[in-house]
Amino acid sequence: MNDFSGKNVLITGASSGIGLAMAKDFANRGANLILTARSRDKLLDLANKLKGEGTKVHVFVEDISLSGSATKLFNEINEAGLDVDLLVNNAGYGRMGNFDECPMEDYENMIHLNITSLTELSYLYVKKMAKKGAGGIINVASTAAFFPIPYSAVYAATKAYVLSISEALHFEYSRKGVHIMAVCPGATESKFIDIATERSERLKERFKKGNKTKNGQGLSKVQNAEDCSKEALDAYLKGGIYVITGRSNKILYTLSRFFTRKANLAWSGKLFKKIAG
């Protein structure tokens, strides 16, 4: 895929954060959009704005954290006669705090959204793409995919899965004309912090305070969603298998490779304990 002009792009979690930024970015690059999220009003507002700027937009309201929802969405899009050239699995969320503080039901929903629905949509669409010999999938992982993250253990584990399956599927399907790439952002301006810490105002304030500061290289810890999207889409067009967005995140990952897993665990545990402990 040399550019996105005229391509039909399906984006999950398109009503806010990185998904919203990607929707606008794809539209600016000439793509047609198929948007899905739980928030009908936000999706319709976005669709109306983009349509006013000349973009073809279709909206499907769906909560893909629920069992069977991914297949339901796939069937609804097929019934509408829409072909998908590029799938963007962006929908996901995390929690912060001690492992036993979060209800098991919440973890189950998180795992279903971050892993099961992503896998299901990838499975359904990669078959169609491979059959026609063209298409692609962008899976939004996280820099958390590279480290075990105490006090956000389940979230980090789900993102490690996303990175792993993306790389493996890229190897399987690139020879069939399907390009699969993972995006690994760090802290990004979005509603992630509010959702991850919604059960504790203490955690929310600690996290926000920590990310207003600069890191050791004098770089902002928080990247805006628009810059994240631009880096991701540019990397996809260049044939990337995964991309770490944000200069400070790239530096952090590079430095981490000089240390043992034990040392990286000690570092991440100490950092997140300051927030959640």
Rounded to whole angstroms, how far apart are CA atoms 263 and 275?
Answer: 19
Rounded to whole angstroms, how far apart are CA atoms 60 and 225?
Answer: 22
Rounded to whole angstroms, how far apart are CA atoms 155 and 225?
Answer: 20
Please tell me which residue in 125, 155, 161, 173 is annotated as part of the active site. Answer: 155
Q: Among 127, 20, 124, which Cα is nearest to 72's?
A: 124
Which string of b and e fits 38-67 if b means at least 16 CB within 10 Å? eeeebbeebbeebeeeebebbbbbbebbee
* 155 catalytically annotated: yes
DSSP state of 220: B
Write out the two tokens for 136.
Answer: 């692609």
Rounded to whole angstroms, how far apart are CA atoms 101 and 85?
Answer: 41
Query: Could you give the C-alpha distances from 170 to 12, 233, 242, 243, 276, in angstroms and in order?
Result: 20, 16, 10, 13, 36
Total length of the chain: 277
Task: Label residue 72 exposed, middle or buried (CB < 10 Å: 0-12, 13-18, 19+).
Answer: middle
- The sign of the dihedral angle between the CA atoms of 221, 226, 232, 238 is negative
Write out the two tokens for 171.
Answer: 């190897």
Amino acid letter, residue 143: T
Could you give the residue numbers annotated as active site?
155
